[in-house]
Amino acid sequence: MALFPIRHVGLKVLSVAVATLLWLVVTGEAVVERSLRVGLELQRTPPGIELVSTVPDAVAVRVRGAASRLADLAPGDLTVVVDLEGVKAGRRLFPLAPSQVTAPFGVEVTQVAPPTLPLEFEVTASTNLPIRARLQGTPIEGHSVTNVSVSPSQVRVEGPESAVRRLTELFTEPVSVDRAGTLIREAVTIDTSDSGLRLVGGSTAVVTVTISADTTVRTVTGVPVRLRGASTGQLTPAEASVTLSGAPEAVEHLTPADIGLFVDVPPGAAGLDVDVQAESSPHYVVKAIDPPRVAYRAVAARRK
C-alpha cells in the first residue's frame, strides 16, 4: 500500500528550500523603525450614548520591521481600534497601547502617541421641534410675502441631551422668493448641519409661500349714501365711513365722491333700518361700512 506522506517528495523539498531562502533574505535585512499617522476606529458604542467630543483624525504610531517591509507600508494598512463597550456618560480616558493597533504580518508596533484618548459622552435624548422656513430674496416690486407655511410643521429629533435642550426650532434650507409674484411651493431639506441632531423620519419638508400684491388700507369719511331706484325718502344718517383696501396708487387719492354707497328700499320699509351697500370697483375692496345700516323715512310726494 502506498504511503501518502512521502508522495510528491520533490515538491515538498522545493517548498522547504524556497521558505528557507526567503527567511535568510528577510533575516539578513536591516531592521528599521518608522512613524506613521494612523486613523482611529471606534467600535461598539452602547445604545443610548452619544459621543460629543472631537475625535482626532489620526494618532502617531511607531513601527519596527525589515526595511523592505516598511518601505511599502501605508497609513491605511494600520488601524488603532478603541473599544467603547460599556462606556457611560461623562468624560472618559481610553489607553492607546500597541496591542490595540492592527498591523500587517512582519510589522511590530512599538509605540502609540498620545498614550491616552480623552472622550466626552452624553445620554441620547429626543423631542419634537417646530420647522421654520428660511427665505431669501425679494419679490417683484409692489408685491410682498403674505403667508408662509411648512408641512410637516414639526419633526422629531434625537441626539446628545445638551443639543436637544439647546434648540427650540429647526430651519429649512433657503427658499428663494427673489423676483417672485405668485405662490411658491417647494420641497426642501431640513437643516441639521449645525445642531448635532438626527432627524427621526423624513428629512424634507414642503414650504408654501404666498406672495400677494401690496395693499393699502384706508378709511374714507363723509361718503354720501343714496337711494337707488325709484324710491323717495330720507336716510339717517345720509353719510357713512368706508374702510377699503387696494393698491397704494389706487387707494391713496380716493375722495368721497369716488365711492358709491347706496340702499335698496324694499316695499313697506318706511321707518325701518336698511343695509348700506357699496358699488363694486376693480381698483379696491370695501372692507367695512360704518354705520352698516341707516334709517329710512318715506317722504310723501308733493301735489301739483
List, for residues 221-275, the tens digit of each pLDDT value. 999 999 887 567 889 999 999 999 988 888 988 999 999 999 988 776 677 888 9
* Mean pLDDT, residues 63-67 taken together: 91
- pLDDT digits 0-9 by tens, 143-160: 889 899 999 999 999 999
Q: How much is the pLDDT for 3? A: 47
Mean pLDDT computed over every residue of the chain: 87
pLDDT of the residue at 89 = 94
The closest alpha carbon to 54, from 110, 130, 118, 103, belongs to: 118
- Rg of the chain over all Cα atoms, to the nearest angstrom: 43
pTM of this structure: 0.59
Residue 132 has pLDDT above 90, yes or no: yes
In terms of phi and psi (left: phi > 0; alpha: psi -120 to 50; beta: otherwise), the region of 44 is: left
12-39 pLDDT, tens digit per residue, is: 656 666 665 555 455 556 888 999 999 9
How many C-beta atoms surround the C-beta of residue 254 within 10 A? 18
Q: Does 6 or 194 have the greater pLDDT score?
A: 194
Nearest to 209 by CA among 185, 180, 173, 176: 185
C-alpha cell at 1: 500500500
pLDDT of 292 > 50? The answer is: yes
